[in-house]
Structure 1
Amino acid sequence: MSTPASLCAVFQQTAARTPEAVALRDHVHGGALTWSEYAAEVAALAAGLAGVGLSRGGTIALMLGNRPEFHLLDLAAVHLGAVPVSVYNTSSPEQLAHVLRDCGARLAVTERQYLPRILASGVALDAVICVDGPAPGAITLGELKAATQADFDFAVAWAAVGPDDLLTIIYTSGTTGLPKGVELTHANLLAEIDGLTQVVDLRPDDVGLSYLPAAHIADRLAGHYIPIVYGLQIVCLSDLARLGEALQQVRPTFWAAVPRVLEKMRGRIEDALATAPTPRRWALRAAMRTARDGRRGVAYRLADRVLLAKVRAQLGLDRARWVMSGAAPLPPAVLTYFLELGITVCDVWGMTETCGVATLNPPAAIRPGTVGRALPGVELRLADDGELLVRGAIVTRGYRGDPVRTGELFDGDWLRTGDVATVDADGYVSIVGRKKELIINAAGKNMSPVAIESALLSACPLVGTVAVVGDGRPYNVALIVLDADALAALHRREPGADPHPLVADGVAAANSTLSRVEQIKKFAILPGPWEPGGDEFTPTLKLRRSAVSAKYAAEIDRLYPTPGAS
């Protein structure tokens, strides 16, 4: 793929190439836009944004759910050479105030349900645009379009956008401290897609599903940018509770997932099997064993058609040629489970600072337990302490208005990832854990809490969330929150059943896969849930470990022999 000047140029080429093909659908509210309609709306909204003061280099905040208006307004701003900044819908007024001031936004786009928080942030904005109807303190999309100035030249505006212009600023949620604004250019993004699509297959008639937060690079990449480059159809899902329904109806041909969604899918399959007739349960297990052992003869093809294909159809993944899992570690047992079902799940690794994906398991050569190999055009190196360093055109130029933290991000022209990793002889990368999160116990032994947590999540479907603690302690303990769906299924099968013995069995099973020093000696089951954007999790489901340790200090101390011991 030749590299065009900007995403604007790519979008205009795509819209001209397939004008009547459907580009966007709204699963919740209904309606669809073709590529020609998409392009016309972008032009009209860009003119309106220019009329209310947005210009080249300016920033505009978007606080929207997964709906077509996000795509339209994001691209309208991009065509002006302006910089859209999507914010998490869970953000408080105080968090919004930091992001709005840090990026210098003078305009904001939102929905009525989020408007009060935008207004309560106290940040002076030139205009707030509400996409779903009139609301006090905001203008409508109709009023925005009416603000167009007669001398505005849309074609001149987007043609002036070049590869080194900013495409977006994405704020990392961060497990500590204030979020950092990662600056990504058009060149960064186009290099990312060029490398990515040399490894995975994309086709003009592909259909994807946008349901992850637009403030995160994962949905921005898979649900917004890639479809623009390849002219794919995206279905927007603003109600995550309807994900299962949407998957069954949309039947995406490619899909970006996160480990927690895949873990819950596996749990639902297992719950259904627990009450299925014994012959069916046995037959499915046998078919999955056949897939795992690589015996893919006539018997496997029959089992796949009769059993495994039905499971894939029930999940809505019967057309999916590949599923990409990222944003958090995927337990190898979960990955293997889906491979046995005939679903190609490619575990990836990357950061916002690398446009989302830097390494990828090739669909035809997946190695569970690794995050694959470097994308074409990406270089990797291990520092003396095992930290993974990255170099290439996908790497950010730095953090918005923060030269100090930008300086700390780089070692020369190598990006410091903060992840400790190993790389095998074939270039496959395994992530050991976050450099700053490694546990060093009282005996001076180093270990990764992520690896221990992954083992427990694989061993016990009842466990929804786990945080392993042991830094400076004599042994490791675990704080566990049960999965609500799995617990409900247990109580349907066995009313009043105590989950504690099952969790204990899961801990024992996980410990059998760990070294003695890594093993969990004690655990506590805590009330939940731990929600994205709450005290325990960032909006992208990364554990706030220091916050967890502080909030549950009493519970942790009770798991050690001397209360208050450190």
Structure 2
Amino acid sequence: MNTVLEKSTVDVATLPARLLELAHTRGDTVGLRWKTVGRWQSFSWRSYALRVAGVAAGLRELGVTRGGRVAILAENRPEWVFADLAVQGLGAVSVGIYPTSPPADVEYILAHAQVEIAIVENEEQLDKVLAVRGRLPVLRHIVVMDGRGVRPGDAIPFMDLERDEALDEFAASVSLLDPSSLAVLVYTSGTTGPPKGAMLSHANLLASGHTFAAALPAGPRDEILSYLPLCHVAERLLSVIVALSAGSTVNFGEGFLTDLHEVQPTIFLGVPRVWEKMMAGVEIRIADSTWLKKTLYRLCVRLGKRIAPRRMTGRASVFDRLVLTLCGLLVFRPLRAKLGMSRARVPLSGAAPIAPQVLEFLWAIGIPVREGYGQTENTAICTLNPPGDVRLGTVGQALPGVEVRIADDGEILTRSAGVFLGYLNDPGSGVDADGWLHTGDVGALEDGYLRITDRKKDVIITAGGKNLSPSEIENRLKVSPYVREAVVIGDRRNYVTALIGIELETVGDWAARRDLPYTTYADLAGKPEVVALIQTVVRAANRDLAQVAQVKRFTLLDKELDHEDGELTATQKVKRAAIERRFATRIEAMYT
């Protein structure tokens, strides 16, 4: 049996076809790495493609045909990607499910998508499916990647699913794919109701890969760390779509912070929470350091912030570069190495708004983060700050092939090859007759740069008729290393209030340095000293806000917001309606 694709016989119009091309052209180079029991191992592009072909053969034997639905419920690992591309290569539809999803959410997606086969990671994820299987008549088989603790007969081991199939046989299936057909279902986070299944075609995925590989730019020498959930469009974009388009190497680890330090990725996408926590961690370490280190750090950060605006626009002088080199040797270079950012050539922020102050800090220490904007519904193809002219507070310019305009009511509209096929079983796709996607976000275009105000449905209209952006106020609060979450209230109210969740690690460190004892999160949040600490944070944020937008009263939450309690989505976005219902009594107390 042939184990090598003799020649590239498939037109590269889909991601599986691109994988086959890489197996032919770069077969012996590393395509994937994964860490198991503390040791890194690797797959060449050829072995990567062979594993995908083997999974496809096994799924075919289980009866997966064109249009069939296969779900993947697992943390990030190579088998996730093997299954995803195998399903696509058969002309079937891959359905990702967040591994943090409770059984009720798992049941909803499996039923809504009419999933025939569920591929789960381990006993924990298997139990979720088994708990609801009796109500899923379409579900025929369950496959488990890690069978430890699993009773025989409950699921098919992943290793038993795979077959020995030549790449030429897999290529025959891939050659029959219609690029315009449905490839994956990506379920949205469901901040206002049940998640919707966004339908993305093979052509959508490939267009996204071509666009971003050129815009970042990304290439064969780049290293990517896969850590955000793969069923989210942002992680799939980097770990699957861009990695295949550019031939970059993807790393799957065992623990985010350790992996980040070991891999030192060249391309890294951080959601705002990651960047905020990174900044907070630096503040903790500096607070506990010696006087000399504190002084050097503060001096270098001050100089870095002064130079940052010139670096963003490519106008740093020779003297600026000398200052940055000196600061780098003294402070920034070892700091970036500890953060896992010593090789970060293309650091990015996306998926949610981020405070400009956080980006200013990152640029000051030599991490040139560029903010971008995209949605599941446009395969993440929309805008990105260009490397030579970064403007904080904006999400950049339209990417090549993308059109952006602002509707009369301020809503952002986009049109590109990434615009999706619509929502599964839902005619309300938000795409008009001219192909414009109505994003649901409100913003403005300034000299070609897009500035996002907020989600259209989240904009607050006060009792006095003033329109406010809650995310702008919340981001100013979350700049503080002591604040983990902030939920601003004020719609149809006389003034603005906030529910604030403290950052346990940083506030705990602050309390320890003051010999302030505590037992639990609730105990710490209830301390008068902690309330006073957060009061200083609120006052500092208010100084930068208009009078009508200032937070007049706040309440500290006595628990961390949680996905399983229905307060956050799987991507850690706040479910505002759920929060307002759950904490209604505390909210009303701030207005009485």
Normalised TM-score (structure 1): 0.94
In the other structure, the counterpart of 1:487 is 507
Cross-structure match for 1:376:
400
SS of 2:82's partner is helix
Paired letter, 1:443: G
| Matched residue, 1:319 | 343
Distance 2:555 2:338 in 1: 35
Deviation at 1:231, TM superposition (A): 1.7
How do 1:20-59 and structure 2 match up within 5 A? 20-29=28-37, 30=39, 31-59=41-69
Which residue, 547, 559, 562 being the options, matches 1:528?
559
Aligned length, in residue pairs: 550
C-alpha deviation, 1:383, in angstroms: 0.5
* In structure 2, C-alpha distance between the alignment counterparts of 1:120 and 1:166, rounded to whole Å: 29
Q: How does 1:146-161 map to 2 (within 5 A)?
A: 153-161=169-177
Paired position in structure 1 for 2:8 = none
* Structure 2 Cα separation of the partners of residues 297 and 350 of structure 1: 33
2:436 pairs with one of 414, 429, 452: 414
Corresponding residue SS for 2:173: helix
Q: Which residue of 2 aligns with 1:178?
A: 194
Give distance in 1, aligned partners of 2:511 and 2:186: 42
What amino acid does structure 2 have at the position aligned with 1:66?
A: N
User: 1:182-216 CA distances to partner (integer Å, 9 max, x unpaired)?
Assistant: 01111111212222233212121211111111111
1:175 and 1:535 mapped to 2: Cα distance? 10
Give the alignment partner of residue 393 of structure 1, picking from 411, 417, 441. Answer: 417
3-state DSSP class of the match of 1:114?
helix
- The verdict on how the C-alpha distance between 1:292 and 1:373 changes in structure 2, with shifts beyond 3 A counting, is same
Once residues 357 and 556 of structure 1 are traced to their aligned partners in structure 2, the CA distance between those partners, rounded to angstroms, is 38
Any idea what SS the aligned residue of 1:214 has?
coil
Specify the alignment match of 1:335 in structure 2.
Answer: 359
Q: Which residue of 2 aligns with 1:444?
A: 465
Please give the root-mean-square deviation of Cα atoms over the aligned residues, in Å.
Answer: 1.8
**2:492 counterpart residue number:** 472
Instruction: Using the TM superposition, give the Cα deviation of residue 401 of structure 1 relative to its aligned residue in structure 2, in angstroms.
Output: 1.9
Distance 1:4 1:486 in 2: 49
Shift of 1:292: 2.1
Residue segments in structure 1 that go unaligned for 5+ positions in a row: 562-566
3-state SS of paired residue (1:363): coil
Q: 2:18 aligns with which of 7, 10, 19?
A: 10
Contact 1:14–1:230 (Cα < 8 Å) also in 2: no
* Residue in structure 2 matched with residue 515 of structure 1 by the alignment: 546
For residues 149 and 9 of structure 1, what CA distance do their matches in structure 2 show? 16
Return the letter of the residue paired with 1:143: D
CA contact (8 A) 1:48 1:145 kept: yes
SS in 1 for 2:18: helix
Alpha-carbon distance in structure 2 between the residues aligned to 1:382 and 1:74: 36
1:378–1:392 CA contact under 8 A, matched in 2? yes
Q: Which residue of 1 aligns with 2:223?
A: 207
Equivalent position to 1:62, from 63, 72, 92: 72
Output the amino acid matched with 1:454: N
**TM-superposed deviation, 1:28:** 4.3
Is the 1:348–1:359 Cα contact (8 Å) retained in structure 2?
Answer: yes
SS of the residue aligned with 2:124? coil
Displacement of 1:98 after TM fit? Answer: 1.7
Question: Which residue among 258, 262, 268 is the counterpart of 2:281?
Answer: 268
C-alpha contact 1:14 1:229 (8 A) present in aligned 2: no
Aligned-pair CA distance for 1:149: 10
Identity of aligned residues (%): 37
- Unaligned residue ranges in structure 2 (runs of 5+): 1-10, 308-318, 518-528
**CA deviation after TM superposition for structure 1 residue 290, in Å:** 2.2
1:97 shift after superposition: 1.9
Q: Pick which of 245-254 and 408-417 moved more.
A: 408-417
State the match for 1:223 in structure 2: 239
Q: Tell me the secondary structure at the aligned position of residue 509 of structure 2.
A: helix
The SS at the match of 2:485 is strand
**Are 2:140 and 1:119 equivalent residues in the alignment?**
no
2:415 & 2:404 partners in 1: Cα distance? 7
Provide the rounded CA distance (Å) in 2 between the counterparts of 1:356 and 1:493. 44
**Which residue number in structure 1 is paired with residue 391 of structure 2?**
367
Does the CA contact (< 8 Å) of 1:348 and 1:357 recur in 2?
no
Amino acid at match of 1:185: S
Q: Is the 8 A contact 2:100 2:570 kept in 1?
A: yes
Deviates more, 1:193-202 or 1:370-379: 193-202
Q: Which residue does the alignment assign to 2:259? A: 246
**Structure 1 stretch 355-364 or stretch 78-87: which is displaced more?**
355-364
CA drift at 1:153:
4.0
Aligned match for 1:456, one of 470, 474, 477: 477
CA distance in 1, matches of 2:108, 2:115: 11
Alpha-carbon distance, 1:8 to partner: 1.7
- Check the 8 A contact 1:80/1:157 in 2, yes or no: yes
What is the CA–CA distance in structure 2 between the aligned matches of 1:32 and 1:320, rounded to whole Å?
Answer: 21
Amino acid of the residue matched to residue 266 of structure 2?
T
Larger deviation, residues 132-141 vs 383-392: 132-141
Q: CA–CA distance in 2 between the matches of 1:258 and 1:344?
A: 15
Whole-angstrom distance in 1 between the partners of 2:35 and 2:433: 45
Q: 1:138 aligns with which of 127, 130, 155?
A: 155
Q: Distance in 2 between matches of 1:129 and 1:253?
A: 34
Measured after TM superposition, the shift of residue 93 of structure 1 is: 2.2
Is the 8 Å Cα contact of residues 474 and 488 (structure 2) preserved in structure 1?
Answer: yes
Gap change, CA 1:303 and 1:120, over 3 Å in 2 = same
Name the residue aligned to 1:564.
none
Conserved in 2, the CA contact under 8 Å of 1:345 and 1:363? no
Q: 1:314 to 1:444 in 2, by over 3 A?
A: same
Partner of 1:432: 453
> Which secondary structure state, in structure 2, belongs to the residue aligned with residue 499 of structure 1?
helix
Contact 1:8/1:161, CA 8 A, preserved across alignment: no
Between the aligned partners of 1:501 and 1:452, the Cα distance in structure 2 is: 19
**Which residue number corresponds to residue 300 of structure 2?**
287
TM-score by length of 2: 0.90
Paired residues of 2:19 and 2:45 also in contact (CA < 8 A): no
Shift of 1:145: 2.8
Measure, in 2, the Cα distance between the counterparts of 1:16 and 1:253.
25
